[in-house]
Amino acid sequence: MKETFILQEPGHYRIAAFWKESHDEVCVYHPDYFHNKIQKYKTNPLKTDDDIKHAAVTKFGVIINDEHMRKIYKSKLSCGRYFRRVWRGIFRPMNPNLNYNPIHSHRIYQSAYTNSLVASESLFLSLREIFKNIEPSTNNLNTYSHKIRELLILACTEIEASWKAVLIENSSKKESRYKTNHYFKTKDLLKLDKWSVHLKDYEHLGVLTPFKDWNETNPTRSLEWYDSYNAVKHDREGEFERANLKNLLNAMAAMHILLCAQWGPQTFHLLYENRYSPFHTNSIPDFSLADLYVADTTETFQAIMYFDDPEQFKADENPEPLFERLF
């Protein structure tokens, strides 16, 4: 494993990273240098972390210097490693120059990416059709119908497909049957409770945080919309009232969030990929620099499995930098 150090220019969000490529060679990575993102430099033998830092500053001081790059984090992943279907980046939609997203979802995931978005867009369009008959207002949140029940079931099965795919891609141990207690493991990996959305044309309904109350003790019942899906799927006659607009909106919001958490928040943003969703992403997780992906010298990535060692890779809530200053 190549220990990788990652930095961020204060106030600008621009990323740089460096690592020991060999006993006397340091690599510097700067994604904003479009024609030469990765540069290698021969130096004196590198025996300690300080040797690596000093070599990086000496050879590439224009980017990595004490004046502009004040905090250094040691990456939890070696350069060129990533978790499949797990977005880890920086997204500042109003200033594209400040974004950091080294994983190109369409190129890497191909049909899995496309099929998930085709499925979700179809369901989002069906939700819009519901709005022609039921006005999305607070007075109508308890309104229930057969069509809402159908969409609730379809949305939740699509959510289950995403949960299952993330688990399969990130664990060498496969389950014969996946249940909600398995799905709960994706909450921390994808930081699902840190995402929030609202309906674009109906902001008066407020912010939706469908994963906020999800807990391990009651992994099904703590998600009211998901528990309702199970109820109306198995007992329409006894639980029909739970096939209501409120639960449908939360399920659709959860689907939007799950797709963003896998492919990135740029997926549905007007200025970027602009895939259709009736929701606007309000908030996203604020990842530590130590949790971001860094390309290797070939600018490619190799997947590793998060759940094979989750404690090692667990994202930090309030991380401390490894070094406050370079010197």
Kindly tell me if the per-residue pLDDT of 80 is higher than 80.
yes
Q: In what order do the strands lie in the sheet with 4-8?
A: 38-42, 25-29, 15-22, 4-8, 72-74
3-state secondary structure of 16: strand
Would you state the pLDDT for residue 324? 45
pLDDT tens sequence across 272-296? 899 999 999 999 999 988 999 998 8
Distance of alpha carbon 312 from alpha carbon 291, whole angstroms: 11
Distance of alpha carbon 303 from alpha carbon 299, whole angstroms: 13
Phi, psi of 252 (to 5 degrees): -65, -40
Distance of alpha carbon 212 from alpha carbon 206, whole angstroms: 15
Which is higher by pLDDT, 46 or 298? Answer: 46
3-state secondary structure of 321: coil
DSSP 63: T
- CA distances to 83, 101, 220, 246, 298 from 140, rounded to whole Å, are 41, 39, 25, 8, 54
Would you state the pLDDT for residue 298? 81
Would you state the pLDDT for residue 317? 58
Residue 166 tokens read as 């993330």
Residue 191 tokens read as 């930081």
Would you state the pLDDT for residue 92? 85
User: Angle at which helices 224-234 and 245-263 pack, to 10 degrees?
Assistant: 120
Which residues pair with residue 199 across a beta bridge? 279
pLDDT tens sequence across 29-62? 888 776 778 888 888 899 988 888 888 777 666 5
Would you state the pLDDT for residue 327? 33
3-state secondary structure of 231: helix
Residue 262 tokens read as 């896998």
pLDDT tens sequence across 229-255? 999 999 999 999 999 999 999 999 999
